[in-house]
Amino acid sequence: MGKSIAIDGPAGAGKSTIAKMVAKELGFIYVDTGAMYRAMALYLIRRGIDADDTAGIEKACEDADISISYENDTQVILLGGENVNAFLRTEEVGNMASVSSTNGKVRKKLVALQQKLADEKDVVMDGRDIGTVVLPNSRCKIYLTASSAVRAKRRYDELTEKGLREDLARIEEDIIKRDQRDMTRSNSPLRQAEDAVLIDSSDMTIDEVKDAILTIAKEKL
């Protein structure tokens, strides 16, 4: 078992940005578990499986060949050996992932892959159930959150920077809906582990959050 930092929290709290920075600083590997759920969703979409076809999802997910490699410190998700990183961040894939990640069979398969990675390497792993289910024995757990208004604004700025125009109110509505789905699902819902440290990043800069996590990691690991 390697050392681990488990970071959970709702969509848009800044988990991946900060987890990457913390991993770099400590020389750990960054594991983006959301990308694994997205790769599974991409596989299901490519197979033409419908989001409400539970039996189809359960059957297909067994055949999905998802693995991970690293190129210049960047996580590369391989689907049947193909680098699919470029296809994972679309709304279509995100929405399918939000539904298919509620499936127990999908979760079982990806959790096993995540646990194997943490067995072999020192990791900073982010997701929704890392501190509660994937790495319950991790000595350093963080629950990173921010208000839905702040998370929506960050997403809005990100899209604007890419030249995309979206409605801020609609983005916030989507975020609230996704939170609701992630927190109320029966299978591994998003929640703060009892031994996780809560960080609310609403009024913090990225560097402040990174430093707070590094301080906690130094203390706990």
Site for ligand DC contains 14 (CB under 6 A): no
Nearer to ligand DC, 37 or 43 (CB): 37
Alpha helix locations (H) across 64-197? 91-100, 104-120, 148-161, 168-184
Site for ligand DC contains 37 (CB under 6 A): yes
Count residues near ligand DC (CB under 6 A).
13
Binding mask 57-96 vs ligand DC (x if CB under 6 A, - otherwise)?
-------------------------------------x--
Site for ligand DC contains 97 (CB under 6 A): yes
Burial class (CB in 10 A: 0-12, 13-18, 19+), 204: middle
Single residue of 11, 13, 31, 144 touching ligand DC by CB under 6 A:
11
Q: Which token pair is 54?
A: 């539970």
SS3 115: helix
Got the DSSP string for 31-84?
Answer: EEHHHHHHHHHHHHHHTT--TT-HHHHHHHHHH--EEEEEETTEEEEEETTEE-
Q: Starting at the edge strand that comes first in sequence, how are the strands of the sheet with 140-145 ordered?
A: 29-32, 123-127, 4-8, 140-145, 197-200
Q: Which token pair is 175?
A: 């975020």
Closest CB 205 distance from ligand DC, rounded Å: 21
Closest CB 221 distance from ligand DC, rounded Å: 21
Segment contacting ligand DC by CB under 6 A, of 64-72, 74-82, 121-129, 144-152: 121-129
**Interacting positions 126-165 with ligand DC (CB under 6 A):** 127-129
Which residues of the shown chain bind ligand DC in the complex (CB under 6 A)? 11, 33-34, 37-38, 94, 97-98, 101, 127-129, 182
